[in-house]
Amino acid sequence: MSVKYNFKTKRNSPESDIQARFFAWLLKNYPELRLNCFAIANGGSRNILEAINLKRTGVTAGVPDVFCSIARGSWYGLFLEFKAGRNKLTDAQKMMFDKFSKAGYKCEVCYSFEDAVKIFVDYVEGIH
In this prediction the pTM is: 0.84
- Per-residue HEC secondary structure of 10-75 comes to CCCCCHHHHHHHHHHHHHHHCCCCHHHEEECCCCCCCCHHHHHHHHHCCCCCCCCCEEECCCECCE
pLDDT per residue rounded down to tens, the chain (128 residues): 444 444 444 444 489 999 999 999 999 999 999 999 999 987 666 788 887 888 888 888 899 999 999 999 999 999 999 999 899 999 999 999 999 999 999 999 999 999 999 999 999 999 76
Inter-residue long-range contacts of 115-121, CB under 8 Å, 24+ positions, other chains counted:
116/18, 116/19, 116/22, 116/80, 116/82, 117/22, 117/25, 119/78, 119/80, 120/22, 120/26, 120/30, 120/68, 120/78, 120/80
**Structural domains of the chain, with CATH:** 32-124 (3.40.1350.10)
